[in-house]
Amino acid sequence: MKKNLPKMKSDADAKKLLKRDLSDYLDPKNFTLTSFEFAPKDKSITLRMSHSLLDAVRVTAKKRGTDYQKLIREAIEQFLRKNAA
C-alpha cells in the first residue's frame, strides 16, 4: 500500500518533500491521461449537428472535465490517427 502525502503548512515544507524520494507516494491509479494542445487554433469552422448529438457531446465533455469543443477536436484527431493511410 502506498503512503499518503504528509500535510504541508508552508512552501518550505513542500520544498523539503520534493527533495525526498517520492516513489512510496506514487500509485498508477492516481494518474490520468492528459492531452496538451500546442498548435494555435487559427481557423474557425461552422458545424451543424442535431440538438441531441450536441447535448450528448456536452454531457460527455462535462463528465471528462473538458470543453465540448476540445472533445470534438480530440475525436477528429483520434479518427484521423486511426484512419491514416
Residue-wise pLDDT tens digits, 2-49: 778 888 899 999 898 889 888 888 888 777 777 777 888 899 999 999
What tens digit of pLDDT does each residue of 39-84 get?
Answer: 888 999 999 999 999 999 999 999 999 999 999 999 999 999 999 8
Residue 5 maps to a domain: no
Residue 3 maps to a domain: no
Residue 2 maps to a domain: no
Residue 18 maps to a domain: yes
The model carries a pTM of: 0.59
Phi/psi of residue 41, nearest 5 degrees: -95, 90
Domain with 59, as residue range(s), is 11-82
Residue 72 maps to a domain: yes
Residue 6 maps to a domain: no
* Alpha-carbon span 39 to 76, nearest angstrom: 15
Domain count of the chain? 1
pLDDT above 60 (res 1): no
